[in-house]
Amino acid sequence: EAGVAQSPRYKIIEKRQSVAFWCNPISGHATLYWYQQILGQGPKLLIQFQNNGVVDDSQLPKDRFSAERLKGVDSTLKIQPAKLEDSAVYLCASSHYTGRSSGNTIYFGEGSWLTVV
Amino acid sequence: GESVGLHLPTLSVQEGDNSIINCAYSNSASDYFIWYKQESGKGPQFIIDIRSNMDKRQGQRVTVLLNKTVKHLSLQIAATQPGDSAVYFCAELSLNAGNMLTFGGGTRLMVKP
């Protein structure tokens, strides 16, 4: 079974530029997550989708971050304009959870490494 | 649990010894408690979970213990191998919040050959 796919793996941009990350979850997984992991810390949830609806985006800095999952499969996370403190790994994860079943194990992709200079 | 800063706690063990990694959690209402392993340059990898109504669960070479009285979770790794070297994170899963996963602090495990 293919895992969670993310691209690009690495990105270096200047502050105030924009960047977009793409995620393809495991086939059939209804729930998709974007996490931000700053070096030396645990991942922090930015946004969670169930199918194409947002479950939680309370920690997403909405003035600069946006995410969408239009068809309930792939997702993109965008940052515009980027700040130095956005340098982090952006992890996408997915689970089979649909709200009415088990299958709640959450699987992570390898991450997209962002450096803002 | 709260995230730690740049200096993760480190546990250094000899190859073949048993390792115990500890975690304090904050939300008593979580449904599952989970351990993830994260190797350098990779995403977190699921190791084992335990439902909140259990106090012990065993996997292959790993055991998770849950003490709800003191809100403490531990991961025991038997016969630690060099491939076990990684950062280990505990996490809490809440089904009522739509399968929301919240990470706690990490511990770096270093295995000496």
Show residues of chain B in contact with A45, CB under 8 Å.
Answer: 100-102
Residue whose entry in the numeric block shows the structure tokens 């340059």: B41
Q: Do B101 and A31 touch (CB under 8 A)?
A: no
SS3 B82: helix
* 8 Å CB contact between B84 and B78: no
* Mean per-residue pLDDT pooled into runs of 10, chain B (113 residues): 56 97 89 94 94 95 95 96 96 86 93 93
pLDDT tens per residue, range A44-78? 999 999 998 999 999 999 999 999 998 889 999 99
Alpha-carbon distance A32 to B84, whole Å?
Answer: 28
The predicted pLDDT at position B4 comes to 34
Residue of B43, B32, B41 whose CA lies nearest to B101: B32
- Partner A contacted by B104 (CB < 8 A): yes
Question: Measured between CB atoms, does A25 come within 8 Å of chain B?
Answer: no
The Cα–Cα gap between B91 and B81 comes to 23
Q: B113: distance to nearest CA of chain A, Å?
A: 25
pLDDT of residue A98: 66
Written in H, E and C, the secondary structure of A33-90 is EEEEECCCCCCEEEEEEECCEEEECCCCCCCCEEEECCCCCCEEEEECCCCHHHCEEE
Low-confidence ranges of chain A (pLDDT < 50): none
From A41, A93, A97, residue closest to B3, measured CB to CB: A41
Radius of gyration of chain B (CA): 14
- CB atoms B98 and A41 under 8 Å: no
Alpha-carbon distance A38 to A58, whole Å? 18
